[in-house]
């Protein structure tokens, strides 16, 4: 399937993007005055192949998984919190649930590797195993498990496209996943743990030092290949990160705009690019995470985020936050009068 996906990813639709650019240039306002908002509207035209796309039906996919590395004491809480938050997602009482309700998006909680067996109504059961192994001692998972997790992400996109969804915001839930993310980022970027590791959901200075030591040990033991996204995900990643990578691959293949959340989805997106470089133009950033490595990951992906709010909650909250901003930009793009309709002289590009 991964070979099929990579071979099937086509370049962004240039004609649709050119049409979208022309539309922006005719709207009765100063040229390029909405900056990144104009660029992202044009990019969505390229992704969908339609300069007058609609985003009326939107989804949020939250990949839930546990991480064996919490054995090393790198978190404030245990993996029981992963299950609790995923249950709250099903009950529509998690943080992202309230964001999604305001943004008129449907939330899809996916159990891709939670340690607890959840029976809550609404959970999508794609469990591969009850959490990963401890990356400070061994590989997180086998390569075949990594492929399975990536494939699940691709299948989720296929499923949602068939159900008529037009845009997908991505999120995750998994205690310990900022540690695995830091290890993945170090491997992919070739940087030191000191440059990548942050405080996650909240660590003391002593906890941060321990987390840096654990990531250093994980990289030394597992020796992930930075050129092989699957190898990195399998050795020092998590089921949630691999599932997110699959979502980005599926979005490019099925021409569905995928909104990245913070540092975890950014690391997963870079792993997906190492698996299939053709997907890089399809990635849509939302915000700059509070985690220190977020800026480095976005630079490597050649992306500039719309929002800089020092967010680090996860669950896809930052990705969903972009949806109402897109709605506002789309309203101008689709509905505002042109210079001709306003009987105004058009702005001319500055020389």
How many Cα atoms sit within 13 Å of 229 on the Cβ side?
A: 23
pLDDT tens string for the chain (351 positions)?
A: 899 999 999 999 999 999 999 999 999 999 999 999 999 999 999 999 999 999 999 999 999 999 999 999 888 889 999 999 999 999 999 999 999 999 999 999 999 999 999 999 999 999 999 999 999 999 999 999 999 999 999 999 999 999 999 999 999 999 999 999 999 999 999 999 998 887 765 667 776 888 899 999 999 999 999 999 999 999 999 999 999 999 999 999 999 999 999 999 999 999 999 999 999 999 999 999 988 899 999 999 999 999 999 999 999 999 999 999 999 999 999 999 988 888 887 777 766
In 3D space, the residue among 169, 219, 175, 173 whose CA is nearest the CA of residue 194 turns out to be 219
Same fold, 2-52+332-342 and 58-326: no
CA atoms of 122 and 89, how far apart (whole Å):
9
DSSP state for residue 132 in the 8-state scheme: -
DSSP state for residue 124 in the 8-state scheme: E
- List helix spans (H) across the chain: 2-8, 14-26, 36-48, 80-91, 95-102, 143-162, 177-189, 193-196, 205-222, 229-236, 239-254, 263-275, 294-300, 317-335, 339-342
Q: Where are the domains of the chain?
A: 2-52+332-342, 58-326
CA atoms of 66 and 131, how far apart (whole Å):
4
Q: Contact 263/200 with Cβ under 8 angstroms? A: no
Q: Contact 67/131 with Cβ under 8 angstroms? A: yes
Domain spanning 2-52+332-342: which CATH class is it, in words? mainly alpha
In 3D space, the residue among 154, 134, 226, 140 whose CA is nearest the CA of residue 188 turns out to be 226
* pTM (2 d.p.): 0.95
Residue 276 in tokens: 């299939």
CA atoms of 89 and 94, how far apart (whole Å):
5
CA atoms of 260 and 238, how far apart (whole Å):
17
**Torsion sign over Cα 57, 111, 9, 307:** positive
Q: Of 80, 315, 330, 335, which is the active-site residue?
A: 315
CATH number of 58-326: 3.40.50.10210
> Does residue 315 have an active-site annotation?
yes
CA atoms of 82 and 306, how far apart (whole Å):
29
């Amino acid at each position: 399937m991964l070979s099929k996906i990579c071979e099937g990813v086509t370049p962004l639709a240039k004609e649709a993007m050119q049409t979208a650019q022309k539309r922006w240039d005719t709207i009765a306002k100063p040229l390029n005055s909405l900056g990144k908002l104009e660029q992202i509207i044009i990019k969505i035209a390229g992704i969908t192949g339609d300069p007058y796309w609609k985003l009326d039906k939107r989804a949020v996919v939250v990949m839930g998984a546990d991480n064996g590395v919490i054995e090393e004491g790198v978190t404030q809480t245990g993996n029981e919190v992963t299950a609790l938050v995923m249950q709250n997602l099903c009950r529509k009482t998690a943080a992202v649930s309230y964001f999604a309700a305001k943004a008129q998006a449907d939330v899809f909680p996916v159990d891709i590797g939670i340690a607890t067996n959840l029976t809550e109504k609404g959970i999508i059961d794609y469990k591969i195993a009850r959490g990963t192994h401890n990356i400070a001692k061994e590989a997180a998972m086998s390569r075949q498990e990594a492929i399975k997790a990536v494939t699940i992400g691709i299948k989720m996109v296929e499923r949602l496209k068939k159900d008529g969804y037009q845009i997908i915001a991505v999120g995750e839930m998994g205690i310990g996943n900022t540690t695995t993310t830091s290890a993945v980022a170090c491997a992919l970027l070739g940087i030191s743990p000191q440059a990548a590791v942050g405080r996650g959901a909240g660590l003391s200075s002593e906890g941060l030092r321990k987390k840096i030591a654990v990531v250093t040990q994980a990289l030394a033991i597992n020796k992930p290949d930075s050129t092989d996204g699957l190898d990195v995900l399998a050795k020092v990643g998590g089921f949630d990160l691999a599932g997110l990578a699959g979502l980005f691959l599926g979005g490019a293949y099925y021409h569905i705009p995928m909104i990245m959340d913070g540092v975890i989805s950014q690391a997963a997106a870079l792993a997906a690019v190492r698996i299939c470089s053709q997907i890089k133009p399809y990635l849509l950033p939302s915000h700059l995470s509070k985690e220190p490595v977020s800026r480095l990951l976005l630079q490597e992906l050649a992306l500039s985020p719309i929002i800089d709010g020092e967010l680090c909650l996860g669950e896809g909250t930052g990705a969903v936050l972009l949806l109402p901003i897109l709605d506002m930009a789309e309203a101008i793009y689709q509905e505002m009068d042109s210079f001709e309709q306003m009987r105004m002289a058009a702005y001319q590009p500055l020389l």
